[in-house]
Amino acid sequence: MSESATLQVGFLGSGRMATALAKGWLRSGLVRTGGCQASDPLASARQTFTAETGCPAVADNCQVAAASNLLVLAVKPQSMPALLEEICPHVTGRLVVSIAAGITLRQLSAALGSDCRLIRVMPNTPCLVGASASGYSPGANATAEDIALVDRLLNAVGVAFRLPEHLLDAVTGLSGSGPAFVYLMIEALSDGGVRMGLPRDVATVLAAQTVLGAAKMVLETRTHPGVLKDMVASPGGTTIAGLHALERGGVRGALMDAVEAATRRAVELGES
Ligand SMILES: NC(=O)c1ccc[n+]([C@@H]2O[C@H](COP(=O)([O-])OP(=O)(O)OC[C@H]3O[C@@H](n4cnc5c(N)ncnc54)[C@H](OP(=O)(O)O)[C@@H]3O)[C@@H](O)[C@H]2O)c1
């Protein structure tokens, strides 16, 4: 029997990230509609999950935990202690994946039992469109099959790196929170276009496509971004004039500060 025929994924918490992952995995074909369900105390979250994925969502976490062989803990870090206490009796024999920012494997294992098979993952929402960037770190009891399964699921919706756990907060700060940083940049570039006379709809597509194209150039040519930047900045030209304005505005420092601030916040969330 194929892996996807036996895989029963249960999302505990059916909010934005659970919905995005479920949609991405269903679209990839690795998870079947009949092999996915969710639980959430919030009726509106359950309704959205079902409307977006076609999969059932119920209020009872234990019902979903009992019926699944892969549990995805997809609640906010602040809600995690209560969830762990509730599902603890139901995790035996199941692979448990946590996507919560800041919550460590040690905290998960202390709450669920030291023999629990755990993998900590930090995905991002572009998994909805097959373009996520994730990092993951397996716990001591995760088997080679568990790790291969999670690696396949994450790579089916983007790219994923296996990393030492201490780096997952930095992944949270860079790629977990990063889409919001880039949305802000796209919005600002579009504002610049509108200020210079472009219609808003044209400006936003030009800005987003420019970010997409530049990202593809970095990923597909494997050329250092600084080299690619130099290649488009001719002496005395338009691009170097724009780059000078960006440097005067401290954009590099601001982006580095953003990743640092988000990383520090992830660490704080794990400590609270
Ligand atoms: N959004 C992202 O881009 C992103 C990226 C990477 C990782 N993450 C991680 O993913 C996790 C979920 O984030 P999100 O943005 O999807 O949050 P979200 O939209 O708020 O979804 C979380 C859902 O879980 C529910 N919930 C709370 N306590 C629960 C419990 N005990 N049992 C079952 N469900 C419960 C919440 O209901 P209430 O509202 O009633 O509490 C809410 O509907 C977070 O830990 C975050 O760090 C998010």
What's the pLDDT tens digit per position in 162-205?
A: 999 999 999 999 999 999 999 999 999 999 999 999 999 999 99
Left, alpha or beta for 70 (phi > 0: left; psi -120 to 50: alpha)? beta
17 Cα nearest atom in ligand 1: 16
Looking at residues 54-65, what average pLDDT do you find? 96
Q: What is the pLDDT at residue 4? A: 72
Radius of gyration of the chain (CA): 21
Amino acid sitting at position 113: G
* Cα(28)–Cα(90) distance, integer angstroms: 28
* Cα(271)–Cα(269) distance, integer angstroms: 5
**How, if at all, do strands 57-58 and 70-73 pair?**
unpaired
What's the pLDDT tens digit per position in 230-255?
A: 999 999 999 999 999 999 999 999 99
Amino acid sitting at position 28: S
Does the domain at 3-164 match CATH 3.40.50.720? Answer given as: yes
Q: Is the pLDDT of residue 152 over 80?
A: yes
Does the domain at 178-271 match CATH 1.10.1740.10? Answer given as: no
For residue 103 and ligand 1, the question of a CB distance below 6 A is answered with no
User: Has this prediction a pTM greater than 0.85?
Assistant: yes
For residue 109 and ligand 1, the question of a CB distance below 6 A is answered with no
Extents of the domains making up the chain? 3-164, 178-271
DSSP code string of 85-100: HHHGGG-TT-EEEE--
* Cα(37)–Cα(12) distance, integer angstroms: 9
Phi, psi of 234 (to 5 degrees): -80, 155
State the distance from the centre of ligand 1 to the C-alpha of 100, rounded, in angstroms.
Answer: 8
State the distance from the centre of ligand 1 to the C-alpha of 40, rounded, in angstroms.
Answer: 9
**Token pair for residue 43?**
């009726």
State the distance from the centre of ligand 1 to the C-alpha of 18, rounded, in angstroms.
Answer: 8
Q: What is the pLDDT at residue 271? A: 82
For residue 41 and ligand 1, the question of a CB distance below 6 A is answered with yes
pLDDT, the chain, mean: 95
Q: Is the pLDDT of residue 128 over 90?
A: no
Phi, psi of 199 (to 5 degrees): -65, 145
